[in-house]
Structure 1
Amino acid sequence: MGGAPPRRAGWLGRTLSGLAVGLGCVLLLGGFVLAAVLYQPYTVPTDSMAPSVAAGDRVLAQRIDGDEVRRGDVVVFEDDEWGPSLMLKRVVGIGGDTVACCDDQGRLTVNGDPVAEPYVGGDSGASSVGFTVEVPEGELFMLGDNRADSQDSRSLLTDTNTGSVPRDAVSGRVEAVVWPFGELGLLPRATGFADQPGGVSGEGPLRPLFYATSAGAVLILVGAAYGGMAHRASRPGRRGVRTSGVAHNEGTRG
């Protein structure tokens, strides 16, 4: 009877361990599968989006439809007029907007409102070239953050071409830099466009997916360790065997 409680404790420990490992596997594998479905990796080929992302950076872009794009989004798209490769630029105007540069303080304006762009790199400000364009409905006007060294919608502007890109050319919205490790993190929201109709895009599901996969990994490690301890604790120890001798005195009947 003395061995029953350890056996029950061991069974309970192994059960809890199995549940923790099982739940951990669901969270870990489910997180990775969802991330693979919802996101696409992309290697940045040039410095046209520096300092937000630099050449050689590895980013994750959430797979979205063009209808989900908001001003300020950094998007991945493909358009024949821009070349055969995937491109990565920031959306500064959507269909119906009037985008111009620059105002008296050198700022980009959208529909007459100046836009704060803390992400713009280089010394040229919002643009070294002045322009005014009305973006056609269903299209997007794109600029690189490195305005002094970016081939973008400004490069395609002509009397008959607005330099814009159809919404359906967009395949993803960049949400995070994942390599190099020192640059790991989510891209800040472009809050300078927040007062425009439709506002700016909210954060995608990458952060919850990261928490889920991290929790899954911890549960697997803790569950496996606890299961091992429970198994060792439930093993019966060696018991010494004592033999009791009983002396029988026989009376002598005479």
Structure 2
Amino acid sequence: MPENPEQDAATPDEDGKKGNPFLLWLKEIGTVIGIAVVLSFLIKTFLFKAFFIPSESMVATLEKDDRIFVNLLVPEPFALQRGDIVVFKDTQGWLPATQPETPGPFTWLQDSLAFVGLLPDETEQHLVKRVIGLPGDHVVCCDSQARVSVNGTVLDEDYLNPAETPIAQPFDVVVPAGKIWVMGDNRNNSADSREHREVNGGFINLPDVEGKAAVIAWPVGRWQVLDNHAEVFRSVPAPSPEDTNSSTAPTGK
């Protein structure tokens, strides 16, 4: 007879746990999935967010239906740079209004995955363009080769769509404080700041910027870190206090 029966006798619950490795495996899988969802939500909220590319305005840098991750730490606490590719909210009506879609059988699942950051968020309209002018910059188009200049320096934009020669579309603006001037890499097929000067002068409000596009995440064959082509803007001087006006720059908000 055992000296301490309480130590030798296993409870039914303990026997069940020891005798059901499949349940233990499910518990471990559930824990891993739960941790992954929490981490994904935290990353999506504070670090990166997924978006998809809805148009061809950034070809050949970005193709339609690419999935990208956006760095949410730009423009704050890290500042934007000329050449950065940014995703911003369409608060100024650049895009046509969309009709609400009829919820499908798996809409709740898509919304849940978007909420935790595992799918692109499609609840708001967004656009993606490249930053050409920062606050105070004097941006002008065009020279004899349809090139843009910033603060008097002509840009040799090697990221433009090589399949088409840009068509000259003259403008002369000074970017107001708290705003940026953006253009698409597929210059002849991009309704960007040039096309929307009747609304806010064509400028984007910095608070509307979701973040800086960092990588192409999907499809796998196009995975790459996105370049802001700093060499294109390296020779651009700081804005001159004397060059604060232009023929079309707005002076209001």
Task: Tell me the TM-score normalised to structure 2 length.
Answer: 0.61
- Count of equivalent residues: 170
Name 1:48's counterpart in structure 2. Answer: 57
Asked if 2 retains the 8 angstrom alpha-carbon contact of 1:65 and 1:168, the reply is no
Q: TM-score, normalised by structure 1?
A: 0.60
Partner residue, 1:61? 70
CA distance in 2: counterparts of 1:85 and 1:138, whole angstroms: 21
Measure, in 1, the Cα distance between the counterparts of 2:40 and 2:89. Answer: 26
Select 1:170's aligned residue among 209, 212, 221.
Answer: 209
1:138-191 C-alpha deviation (Å, 9 max, x unpaired): 100010111111111001124x84200111110110011111111111012322
Provide, for residues 57-101 of structure 1, a one-character-per-residue CA deviation record: whole Å limited to 9, x for no partner.
001110035352111110010132124611111110011111111
Contact residue 153 and residue 235 of structure 2 kept, 8 A: no
Is the counterpart of residue 142 in structure 1 residue 151 in structure 2? no
Q: Paired residue for 2:90, among 74, 79, 85?
A: 79
CA distance in 2 between counterparts of 1:48 and 1:97 reads 23
Structure possessing the higher relative contact order (Cα contacts under 8 Å, 6 or more residues apart): 1
The percentage of aligned residue pairs carrying the same residue is: 32
**The structure with more radius of gyration:** 1
CA distance in 2, matches of 1:181, 1:138: 36
Whether the 8 Å contact between 1:128 and 1:148 is mirrored in structure 2 is: no
Runs of 4+ in structure 1 off by over 6 angstroms are 28-34
2:133/2:181 contact within 8 Å kept: yes
Following TM superposition, by how much is the alpha carbon of 1:193 offset from its aligned partner in structure 2, in angstroms?
1.3
Report the aligned-residue RMSD. Answer: 2.5
Structure 2: 5+ residue stretches without partners: 1-31, 96-123, 239-253
Higher helix share: 1
- Distance in 1 (alpha carbons) for counterparts of 2:212 and 2:200: 25
Gaps of 5+ in 1: 1-24, 199-254
User: Does the 8 Å contact 1:66/1:169 carry over to 2?
Assistant: no
